[in-house]
Amino acid sequence: MTIDEARTLLSQYADGLLEAQPAHEMEKLLAETPVLQAELKQIKEENALLEEALAPLRSSQSARRRVSDAMVNMHRQATTMAESLPELGWRIFRLAFCFLSLVGATLMVNFRPPTPEELSANSLFLMLTIAVFVLGQVFLMWGSLLAQVESRLKSALKEYTPRPTALEVLLIQVFGMGMVLGAFGMYWGMG
């Protein structure tokens, strides 16, 4: 191990994160190199200062645990909302959104067609925009089918057969809406 390599690993060594072999090599090099010993001492002093400064901020429940609890609670609320969504009303909304987005795309292409210069310069971007729009429509209209396909793929990898939840289906469909709206933005920004 060279001195430069040791310098890159010095903070990990100070924190006790190095595996046995690199730690042993580091100890040999530290015994021979006073400069590294001084740098290690400085790192340990800085770590002690940070520990002392952060001590009052530690609560009885760790931040990681609070975030985890908040995420579980948010997932529970989202699941409840997705399951309480009226199926017929959501289907009508999706069909109306799909129809209006097709009308909007048609109007946008008719009233703001790409110029020949834009077509030649941005043909790949235009094809990507069309692909995003079409995929968004697919996700929006057939989100339930896509969630079932995903569940079957998961079941092929595991022993149980999960059914897609209402939240998973809703997320796929909302993702499709986002893709459609993103495609409009991509087309508008192309010019």
Across all residues in the chain, what is the average pLDDT?
Answer: 85
Distance between CA atoms of residues 12 and 23, nearest Å: 9
- State the Cα angle at 173 between 170 and 177, rounded to 5°: 130
Same domain, 174 and 132: yes
Q: pLDDT tens, 114-158?
A: 888 878 888 888 889 999 999 999 999 998 888 888 888 877 777
Would you state the pLDDT for residue 18? 77
pLDDT at 159 over 70: no
pLDDT above 70 covers a percentage of the chain that reads 93
Same domain, 53 and 92: no
pLDDT at 60 over 60: no
Same domain, 110 and 186: yes
In a domain, 75, yes or no: no
Contact 138, 118 (CB under 8 A): no
Same domain, 118 and 43: no
Report pTM.
Answer: 0.57
Higher pLDDT, 64 or 30: 30
In a domain, 110, yes or no: yes
Would you state the pLDDT for residue 139? 92
Q: How far apart are the two ends of the chain, measured CA to CA in Å?
A: 56
3-state secondary structure of 2: coil
In a domain, 162, yes or no: yes
Average pLDDT, stretch 54-82? 77
Q: Residue 105 sits in which domain range?
A: 85-190
Same domain, 109 and 174: yes
Q: pLDDT tens, 92-108?
A: 999 999 999 999 999 99
In a domain, 74, yes or no: no
Same domain, 89 and 178: yes
Would you state the pLDDT for residue 62? 66
Which of 57, 76, 103 is the C-terminal boundary of a domain?
57
In a domain, 150, yes or no: yes
Q: pLDDT tens, 30-51?
A: 898 888 889 889 888 888 887 7
Would you state the pLDDT for residue 168? 86
Average pLDDT, stretch 76-99? 90
Number of structural domains, the chain? 2
In a domain, 46, yes or no: yes
Of 4, 2, 3, 24, nearest to 13 (Cα)? 24
Contacts of 20 (CB under 8 A, 6+ apart): none
**What's the pLDDT band for 177 if we cut at 50, 70, 90?**
very high
